[in-house]
Structure 1
Amino acid sequence: MFTGNFAPRSWLLCHGQLLPINQYSALFSILGTTYGGDGVSTFALPDLRGRVAIGEGQGPGLNQTNLGEKKGEEAVNLTVNNLPSHNHSTNSNETVVVKKESVRSVNMNTADHATVTTDEEGNNEQSTTSYTGNSQPVNNMQPSLTINYIICLEGIYPSRN
């Protein structure tokens, strides 16, 4: 990580750029085509713009993650399936009188926007509330601080032991 707005000499920002294999063969031998490129003449650096780096593997209670795999979303659209099972009650301080042969559905037009349906005797069969909301995505981002990720182009080749 680097807090500057440039990459120091012998380093590059991790912005997913393609590099020639013949010029950076040591780095290619480490990265391969994990982050892109054709593997013949080019390979790509990881693109960490707007991303958080996480470790490869599988921790206790976590899903497997593989090198180069992108996960997560900045925002998600919630559906009814995302919500816990629940119900809503309706309250009104209005009195609704319904004659036996009259309309069976009355919009009480209260702040709760409730509809009450009665049976032929005028007994309450069902009360429902109106839909609300406008299906906007929900922000899913964790608190973050923007810092540049950089990768070294030259230096001591890492040993495997």
Structure 2
Amino acid sequence: MAEPFISEMRMWGFNWAPVGWAKCDGQSLLINDNQALYALLGITYGGNGTTDFNLPDMRGRTPVSVGQIQGDFVDFGSKGGVESVQLTMDEMGAHTHEVRCSTSDANSKTFASNHLATALNATAQVPTPFYGPTNNSLVGLNPNSVSSNGGGGHHNNVQPSTVVNFCIALTGIFPPRN
């Protein structure tokens, strides 16, 4: 590799870092042993700033540039996003679940046009099978008659990806400032 700038990060296709580089896995380094790198990173990625500092931890992360994201400013060292999400009612678009049925009495055990019909004995306290008529006298059911669906669990929120390691240059050229 060409001589890098100190603190330059590169993707690397192996499970080890080349000489003069370290894996971006959040590890702690001593300031005394890495003064040039500390001068550039400081405690942006953690550490106590007295004896040690941390390297970026890119494990399971997607790099994002400094700037505005959906109205919020993100700076070096910021972390965001989640690997799985549980949707709330506020996050789901407004929608209805309409079921149509007939007001006519059932006269067959076969559904006609996939519609439900009024039970033969509407005052009975026992379950009554629903059957459908062939006419078009359809009305909407009470919204409370449609029960909730889903288990309320989390779903995967990870974009398609290929795994590589990120490495950071410990030595090299101290980057000039503009």
- TM-score w.r.t. length of structure 1: 0.80
Question: Among the aligned pairs, what percent are the same residue?
Answer: 38
> Residues 124, 6 of structure 1: CA spacing in aligned structure 2 closer, same or farther, 3 A cutoff?
closer
Does residue 42 (structure 1) correspond to residue 52 (structure 2)? The answer is yes
* Structure 2: distance between partners of 1:62 and 1:70: 16
Q: Which runs of 5+ in 1 are unaligned?
A: 111-122
Hey, what does 1:95 align to over in structure 2?
118
Hey, what does 1:135 align to over in structure 2?
152
1:36-83 C-alpha deviation (Å, 9 max, x unpaired): 000000000000000011101126x55311111100001110011111
Provide the aligned C-alpha RMSD in A: 2.5
Within 5 A, what are the aligned runs for 1:80-159?
Answer: 80-91=89-100, 92-97=115-120, 102=123, 126-127=142-143, 128-159=145-176
Hey, what does 2:106 align to over in structure 1?
none
* Structure 1: distance between partners of 2:72 and 2:174: 31
Q: Which runs of 5+ in 2 are unaligned?
A: 1-10, 101-114, 131-138
* Structure 2: distance between partners of 1:108 and 1:2: 67
Hey, what does 1:120 align to over in structure 2?
none
Conserved? CA contact 1:94–1:108, under 8 Å: no
Conserved? CA contact 1:76–1:138, under 8 Å: yes
What's the offset of the Cα at 1:135?
1.0
* Structure 1: distance between partners of 2:48 and 2:85: 33
Conserved? CA contact 2:98–2:141, under 8 Å: no
SS in 1 for 2:168: strand
* Structure 2: distance between partners of 1:24 and 1:47: 17
Hey, what does 1:113 align to over in structure 2?
none
* Structure 2: distance between partners of 1:50 and 1:107: 53
- Point out the structure with max Rg over C-alpha: 2
Hey, what does 1:65 align to over in structure 2?
74
Does residue 27 (structure 1) correspond to residue 37 (structure 2)? The answer is yes
1:13-46 C-alpha deviation (Å, 9 max, x unpaired): 0000000000000000010001000000000000
Number of aligned residues = 145
* Structure 2: distance between partners of 1:129 and 1:7: 57
What's the offset of the Cα at 1:139?
1.1
What's the offset of the Cα at 1:106?
8.8
Does residue 54 (structure 1) correspond to residue 52 (structure 2)? The answer is no
* Structure 1: distance between partners of 2:128 and 2:90: 29
What's the offset of the Cα at 1:94?
3.8
SS in 1 for 2:38: helix
SS in 2 for 1:26: helix
